[in-house]
Amino acid sequence: MPAYKAPLREIRFILYELLKAETLSNTVPAYADATPDVIDAILEEAGKFCENELQPLNHSGDEEGCHFDNGAVTTPKGFKEAYAKFVEGGWPGLPCDPDYGGQGLPKLINFAVEEMICSANLSFGMYPGLSNGNYNAIHAHGDEAQKALYLPKLVTGEWSGTMCLTEPQCGTDLGLCKTRAEANADGSYNLFGTKIFISAGEHDLTENIIHLVLARLPDAPAGIRGISLFVCPKFLPTADGGVGARNKVACGSTEKKMGIKASSTCVINFDGAQAWLVGRPHKGMSAMFTMMNTARLAVGMQGLGIAEAAYQGAVTYAKDRLQMRSVAGAKFPEKPADPIIVHPDVRRMLLKMRALTEASRALSYWMGMELDIAAHHPDPERRAAADDLVALLTPVVKAFLTDHGFDAANLGVQVFGGHGYIREWGMEQLVRDARITQIYEGTNGIQALDLVGRKLGTGVGRLARRFFHPVSEYIETASEKPALQEFVLPTAKAFAKLQQATAWLAQAGMADPEEAGAAATDYLRLFALTALAYMWCRMAEIALDKQGGEEAAFYEAKLAAARFFMARLLPETNSLFTMLTAGKATLMALPAEAF
Amino acid sequence: MAIERAAVIGAGLMGSGIAAQIANAGVPVLLLDIVPKDGADRSAIAKGAIDKLLKADPAPLMSKSAAKLITPGNIEDDLDKLKDVDWIVEAVIEKLDVKQSLYRKLEPFRKKDSVVSSNTSTIPLQTLIKDEPESLQRDFVITHFFNPPRYMRLLEVLGGAKTRPEALAAVSDFGDRRLGKAIIAAKDTPGFVANRIGVFWMQAAVNAALDLGLTVEEADAIMGRPIGAPKTGIFGLLDLVGLDLQPHVDKSMREALKPDDAYQTVRRDFPLMETMIKEGYTGRKGKGGFYRLQRNGAEKVKESIDLKTGDYHVSDRARLESADAAKGGLKVLVTHKDKGGHYAWAVLSKLLRYAASLVPEISGDIANVDLAMRTGFNWKRGPFEMIDQLGAAWFAEKLAAEKLAVPPLLKLAAEKGGFYKTENGQLQYLGTDGAYHPLKRAEGVLLLADIKRASKPILKNGSASLWDIGDGVACLEFHSKMNAIDPDTLDLVKKSVAHVGKSMKALVVHNEGDNFSVGANIGLALFAANIAMWPMIEDLIGQGQATYKAVKFAPFPVIGAPSGMALGGGCEILLHCASVQAHAETYMGLVEVGVGLIPGWGGCKELLLRNQPGPKDPKGPMPPVAAAFETISLAKVAKSAAEAKELKLLRASDGITMNRDRLLFDAKARALQMLAEGYKPPEPKELRLPGPTGVTALHLAVDGFRLQGRALPHDVTVSAALADVLSGGATDFTTVVTEDQVQKLEKKAFMALLRTGPTLARMEHMLTTGKPLRN
């Protein structure tokens, strides 16, 4: 079973050396308390909790799974206790509004915590993750009474939350939603319908579960413009914030699934369950979307967490496992065989995992920091710019990081060889757990469409500007520094390809939306790799300055990974460019019946 | 007989508007009204009307100076002035006795063979003059203008049984060539052509909306663009023309039309509108109408009336699938299953059937009717063109299926295959005799549409085409969206110059779009800027400069022939033409600062050249720089070709054509004339510019504006860049600056501005809202 060590040094490198996270506490009054010493202490504690409490439950939770019995769901052994400690530690309220009992810390810090939780135990992470999404939606769209009633309990973690969107006939296309709401005389509604795939829909961790449900009002227009959002608690809260009568909402069954088996995935039936409208009638989708953007970034963090866990497991194994001699002659003649880390192909796998994981961390944490700036920076223009950038890169982070999480988990299995395929070693679980992250919160295909269909066009490229301009300016100045050339020149090439591809998309996609659809996935990956190249340039620049000093090995390793990335990963952008600009013709030629 | 002097009697809205248009044509005009009951000035009414002309928006006058051609007076003291007048227009109140007593009063003073016309819209000609002396009957016609007379192109003209043909011809010709109107030969039938159909349409559209329970927003969302009418739709149009006019119009139509006329059944009393009129809700000129603007703090909120309750509510965008689906054609609209589709069918089935029953009663041919509706009501298509769009046979069958009588002319069209067809590149229309007749254009009218129907382009791409318009002259047509100039346009301009240079004699730049060109495609530029494709944009600026330079120095004359807006890059190409023949309704301007930029395709340079001092002007480096700076930095847009001359966007020698249909012919004639005079391209000029001292002077002016709050923060940045270009950069008055050097400065300043956030924000705002951002 792979051990997990929270990568605190790596995290601190991104936070302080790359992102200068301390500027948040200096420039954004809301985060005045988030000084480096406070952040470090939190990360340290979070690391310990993940290493000592969550990671040990990961394999057992997967083996045991959740139990369903007559509407009740029991989580695997140890989960309830771990969750209690999680609540006791105050972790659910970390990024939450102090007005409702939260600690008001930057989302950036929560991103780091989420990464560690997902490395240690993705299934466990689902429960607080969903609660946080639920909290965000009520915080943004609930009325004062709803906020006062639900938020404090969600912040403490005493109650948990869900997002009830999917129905049997309606997945990606939420316009097909059938669950209906009937008005009561007292202003509340009764919900009727069935939701499926509801994560944390029913469990034994909390005394109450707060469902957020998409449903239609009787006078709703057809399609996506007729969806409203409702809050529907499992137990009706009493006036003093206690738990009252049981509502008519019940878990019908739990799904048997490929991975995240310790996460309870439920069919939830609403049989006239009492609920209250959140936000305005028929505006449920926009309410959902404010929450969804944060949730999509959070899923990206799941991908990152899995990739980190897979890398750690693979490295340990590659150093221990003795097989064959190096093709260049024995490296450890005293041992019966060399450790497999001497073999070029094993290194290829390890470095691919590492180079993409480190840059992905840089990219996603950058978005975490921009989220904080977007929420609380005193300058409205800076807030707007940050909001644009996050909107643009959210689909990139979600899709690329989860694709990478799955790829890295697979590479991890490969490094382990046959043992990777054996459950006991824990590597195949990572593959199975990672797989869902590419699907939920909008499949990665949908992310790509979001990027090309919505984000690029917004404000005639205004969102794009928030990324393209800083990168372009960086390349212009950095290319004048000789030591940086080996990083900046390949990045400039990839960036030029990305610009051309973007211009191509703007023209071809405007004339024919199918062209945009055909190019979307390749374009997103081209975008992501270019963004990672930019991250690697900036990380290499820092490492170059620190060469030969303290922690020389740490920075040398950064440069080595950066070089590997530029030489052996970034060139993929060339083929992506060629593929996507080849157009839709070969995709659309075959008639459906010929498949 | 030529009309060299005119008089308008009645200085109301229509009378003064007609006088203004006559003055716009450069013709002196008397404007007479009655003597007011009190007050010292016996011509106060006409004088007041001229004051109003100078203030009205949209402006009835093409230039303030045109007001000088209007002489105010009154009908007691100034009738002797009529002795020099060739045409007298009567535009007094629609009362028979008032008109008739006026005619009698005029008769002794009239010049022999002068023409008298009435602008009546409701009184038949035979009623007006049946008791008048023979002398007047010979010289009498009706000239029915549409409001506002400067902007509405329709002029319905008709004579009586005894009217001299020369009188009718003189007024028609003057209306056509000098006033720029589309002349429709009408008959002495109620409402003539356009109102007969238009008033029916308005009744049908209101009543169908009431019957089908549509909101005013929904009705207007269908009765506007989707059917090819202006976007005001029906209720918005009523607000615009005034609700109080409607009962009068209805009454006169009801009384004048036969009892079995379809109008009698389509019209209905409209109690809500009557109440609104009583309460002062007469439309935009009153407290509001079907729509009104309510102040809510600083912002104005548009409200709409509920047709059932008469209460106002905040206007809502109509959500009708049919309105969007109408892009697929009129048939898609009228067969759409939603209530918008039902509404469109309910109105159009009545309207088009009615129109088909009126020929030959109101007009000898259908093309005349279509032209009247296009020019009098600003419809995109007249009723017979609409029927052809639906398919005459399909329409006739659908009427029959609904047990509605099919008018004989429609039956004929259904059998023959439509009201129009193209035979050998010639547009033909169906006559009442059942034969197709070629649509003849008047002498001096050359339409690109006709040329396009009959030939293939010499060159063509997605944004522009080159056509052979005969006699060795080519016409370069823009046809991108809003005729915005993009790389494809520039490419075709370049190729056209090369082609004409090799195998033709002259080039006219002209198109028949609503606007000549709204300027460079800034959407393309903004997107490219947002993704930091700087070299591409710089290349585009360079391409534009090189292309326009090629236009300017071409070895043959390039004539610009614009109509409508010619802004930014569209204005710049005209500045580079050897000569311009402009439609009077041309709106030119270098408006780049509105989107945080400066003219980059030679506009700065050309305006410096245009403003070089003439022999009588003060010398020194600053006057031309200051003049160009003022025009560009304030984004001045000329509201007419005449104003464009005042702003030096047109040369004094450039031509103006009043009638749009005659523009291409005139432009071609100008090209041929320049060739005949032995055309030589201009020599590049050398400029002496003030350099940094000029910049300092302009900065002072801008700082002043800023302090007065007349310049926005980003205006200061843009103005500074502009000042640097116009002052010639790092030069001084002793050094010579070439045209190319100024263009280099333009490019540099343009690129620098494009990299600023506020410029990008201005461009985005303009593209997404259509309005300038004030930042």
Residue A466: closest CA among chain B residues belongs to which residue? B530
pLDDT at residue B706 is higher than 90: no
Subunit contact B533:A499, Cβ cutoff 8 A = yes
Q: Which residues of A are catalytic?
A: 441
From the number of C-beta atoms within 10 Å of its C-beta (0-12, 13-18, 19+), residue B358 rates as: buried
Q: Which of A97, A117, A144 is the last residue of a domain?
A: A144
Q: Which of A235, A264, A284 is the last residue of a domain?
A: A284
**Residue B177 DSSP one-character state:** I
Collapsing DSSP to helix, strand or coil, B33 comes out as strand
Report the C-alpha gap between B59 and A498 in whole angstroms.
50
Report the C-alpha gap between B453 and B443 in whole angstroms.
19
Report the C-alpha gap between A181 and A37 in whole angstroms.
49
| Average pLDDT, integer, range B692-708 | 89
My answer on whether B181 and B55 are in the same domain is yes
Interface size, chain A vs chain B, as Cβ–Cβ contacts under 8 Å: 46
My answer on whether B469 and B408 are in the same domain is no
The residue range of the domain holding A196 is 160-284
Q: Which among A221, A459, A503 has CB closest to B531?
A: A503
My answer on whether A523 and A563 are in the same domain is yes
pLDDT at residue B315 is higher than 70: yes
For chain B, what is the domain count?
A: 4
Helix (H) or strand (E) holding B700: helix B692-707
| Average pLDDT, integer, range B165-179 | 97
My answer on whether A29 and A106 are in the same domain is yes
My answer on whether B131 and B262 are in the same domain is no
pLDDT at residue B119 is higher than 70: yes
B263-272: long-range contacts (C-beta < 8 A, 24 or more apart)?
B263/B199, B263/B200, B263/B203, B263/B354, B266/B200, B266/B203, B266/B204, B266/B207, B266/B350, B266/B354, B267/B203, B267/B207, B268/B203, B268/B207, B270/B206, B270/B210, B270/B246, B272/B305, B272/B307, B272/B310
- Percent over 90 (pLDDT), chain B: 92
How close B533 comes to chain A (CA, Å)? 7
What confidence score (pLDDT) does residue B300 get?
87
CA distances from A404 to A435, A494, A562, B263, B534 (A): 11, 19, 17, 73, 33
pLDDT at residue A555 is higher than 80: yes
What confidence score (pLDDT) does residue B617 get?
82
How close A302 comes to chain B (CA, Å)? 30
Q: How many Cβ atoms are within 10 Å of B563's Cβ, its own excluded?
A: 23
My answer on whether B572 and B606 are in the same domain is no
My answer on whether A486 and A577 are in the same domain is yes
**Residue labelled with tokens 């090209």:** B671
What confidence score (pLDDT) does residue B296 get?
79
My answer on whether B571 and B517 are in the same domain is yes
pLDDT at residue A443 is higher than 90: yes
| Average pLDDT, integer, range B458-468 | 98
| Average pLDDT, integer, range A539-546 | 96
Subunit contact B764:A472, Cβ cutoff 8 A = no
In a domain, residue A249? The reply is yes
Q: Mean pLDDT score of chain B, rounded to an integer?
A: 95
Length of chain B equals 775
The CATH number of the domain where B582 resides is what? 3.90.226.10
My answer on whether A169 and A101 are in the same domain is no
- Positive or negative, the CA dihedral A303, A309, A312, A318 is negative
Phi, psi of B386 (to 5 degrees): -65, -45
Identify the CA nearest to A426 among candidates A298, A265, A259: A259
In a domain, residue A461? The reply is yes
- Percent over 70 (pLDDT), chain A: 100
pLDDT in tens, B45-57: 999 999 999 999 9
CA B723 centroid distance within chain? 34
Report the C-alpha gap between A247 and B720 in whole angstroms.
68
Subunit contact B526:A503, Cβ cutoff 8 A = no
What confidence score (pLDDT) does residue A54 get?
98
Subunit contact A461:B526, Cβ cutoff 8 A = yes
Phi, psi of A41 (to 5 degrees): -60, -40
Report the C-alpha gap between A500 and A494 in whole angstroms.
10
pLDDT at residue B709 is higher than 90: no
My answer on whether A107 and A222 are in the same domain is no
| Average pLDDT, integer, range B731-754 | 95
pLDDT in tens, A338-385: 999 999 999 999 999 999 999 999 999 999 999 999 999 999 999 999
pLDDT at residue B565 is higher than 70: yes
Q: Which among A381, A460, A503 has CB closest to B764?
A: A460
Q: Indicate which of B337, B488, B530 best probes the interface with A, i.e. most A CBs within 10 Å of its own CB.
A: B530
From the number of C-beta atoms within 10 Å of its C-beta (0-12, 13-18, 19+), residue B619 rates as: exposed
My answer on whether A164 and A140 are in the same domain is no
| Average pLDDT, integer, range A548-577 | 97
How close A529 comes to chain B (CA, Å)? 17
The pTM score is 0.90
In a domain, residue A343? The reply is no
Report the C-alpha gap between B657 and B110 in whole angstroms.
30
| Average pLDDT, integer, range B585-605 | 97
The CATH number of the domain where A223 resides is what? 2.40.110.20
My answer on whether B28 and B123 are in the same domain is yes
pLDDT grade for A231, boundaries at 50, 70 and 90 = very high
What confidence score (pLDDT) does residue B148 get?
93
My answer on whether B661 and B702 are in the same domain is no
pLDDT in tens, A289-306: 877 888 999 999 999 999
| Average pLDDT, integer, range B465-487 | 97
One-letter amino acid for residue A488 of the chain: V
Contacts of B319 in chain A (CB under 8 A): 221
My answer on whether B141 and B253 are in the same domain is no
Q: Which strand ranges, in their side-by-side order, compose the sheet holding B579-583?
A: B459-460, B464-468, B473-478, B506-510, B558-561, B579-583, B655-657
Contacts of B530 in chain A (CB under 8 A): 460-462, 464-465, 468-469
pLDDT in tens, A482-509: 999 999 999 999 999 999 999 999 989 8
ipTM for the whole complex = 0.92
In a domain, residue A228? The reply is yes
My answer on whether B161 and B20 are in the same domain is yes
The CATH number of the domain where A135 resides is what? 1.10.540.10
Contacts of B764 in chain A (CB under 8 A): 459-460, 462
Cβ(B598)–Cβ(B650) below 8 Å: no
Collapsing DSSP to helix, strand or coil, B612 comes out as coil
In a domain, residue A35? The reply is yes
In a domain, residue A386? The reply is no
What confidence score (pLDDT) does residue B711 get?
85
What's the half-sphere exposure (Cβ side, CA atoms, 13 Å) at B663?
Answer: 32
Report the C-alpha gap between B155 and B142 in whole angstroms.
10
My answer on whether B551 and B417 are in the same domain is no
Residue A510: closest CA among chain B residues belongs to which residue? B524
**Residue A223 DSSP one-character state:** G
My answer on whether B146 and B215 are in the same domain is no
In a domain, residue B368? The reply is no
Name the CA radius of gyration of chain A, rounded: 24
| Average pLDDT, integer, range A394-417 | 98
Q: Mean pLDDT score of chain A, rounded to an integer?
A: 96
Helix (H) or strand (E) holding A9: helix A8-12
The residue range of the domain holding B13 is 6-185
Subunit contact B531:A471, Cβ cutoff 8 A = no
How close B543 comes to chain A (CA, Å)? 19
For chain A, what is the domain count?
A: 3
pLDDT at residue B761 is higher than 90: yes
Cβ(B14)–Cβ(B145) below 8 Å: yes
Residue A475: closest CA among chain B residues belongs to which residue? B532
In a domain, residue A196? The reply is yes
pLDDT at residue A1 is higher than 70: no
| Average pLDDT, integer, range B318-343 | 93
Q: Which among A221, A459, A464 has CB closest to B531?
A: A464
My answer on whether A133 and A14 are in the same domain is yes
